Amino acid sequence: MTRRRWIADEVSGNRAALTGTHADHLVRVLRAHVGQEFDIVANGLVRHGRIVSITDGRVDFELAEEISAQPSIATLTLLLAVFKFDRMEWAIEKCTELGVTRVVPVITRRTVSHLAAAAVKRAERWRRIALQASEQSRRATPPDISAPQKLRDALAIPAAVKVVLSESEQQIRLSDAFSGSNASNVLLAVGPEGGWASDELQLFEDAGWISASLGSTVLRSETAAIAATAIALAELNR
């Protein structure tokens, strides 16, 4: 039976702990008890762990041998335009499960003003969602969820290959943009509801980004993000 995996909030030598709501979920929802065994991610290493104590808002583990984890070949940073929060949360959760390395929320011309204003405070919730999705999908580390950035600033993030999804692209499919690439550091940009504005696409072009398409159908932003992440990582990790 596959053991559930948790990412420790505190680590000290051969001891680790979950704290706060993280611990409460394990105790109250999953009915954890002293002596129960789990996989624990401690300082980036996956180790065998056994619960040694449970107190209010805290679960302590004794750590044993390291468990080998298969690393991803490529790192994928997703520039994700800020859109309706419920759908954006869905995208972050699923892209985390697929293996995205970093998510950078981006304020675009078509990002609704009240969402742009609330995005900074929302980032902490996005990090919690990514942490939970990482544990569920047995990742060794959660993706980094950056503070929201303006598009012009996000374009300067370094990467070996940079690809922007564009509905106006007619020639290059996303799978073709990554096919045969041995790049280990990749940027992928997914636009907001309504797509990128024409001047934004020009910014991408001027910055040397590759424009690519997911096909002839028009997808919601969260669908495009999930599909694009799956395609990119499948091509890069061949």
Q: What is the CATH number of domain 5-66?
A: 2.40.240.20
Going from N- to C-terminal start, the domains of the chain cover 5-66, 75-236
Lowest-pLDDT range of 93-107, 119-133, 156-170, 171-185: 171-185
CA distance 164 to 167: 10
Superfamily for domain range 75-236: SPOUT methyltransferase, trefoil knot domain (3.40.1280.10)
**11-54 per-position pLDDT tens digit:** 999 999 999 989 998 888 889 999 999 999 998 889 999 999 99
**205-219 per-position pLDDT tens digit:** 999 999 999 988 889
In CATH terms, are 5-66 and 75-236 the same topology? no
What pLDDT score does 115 carry? Answer: 96
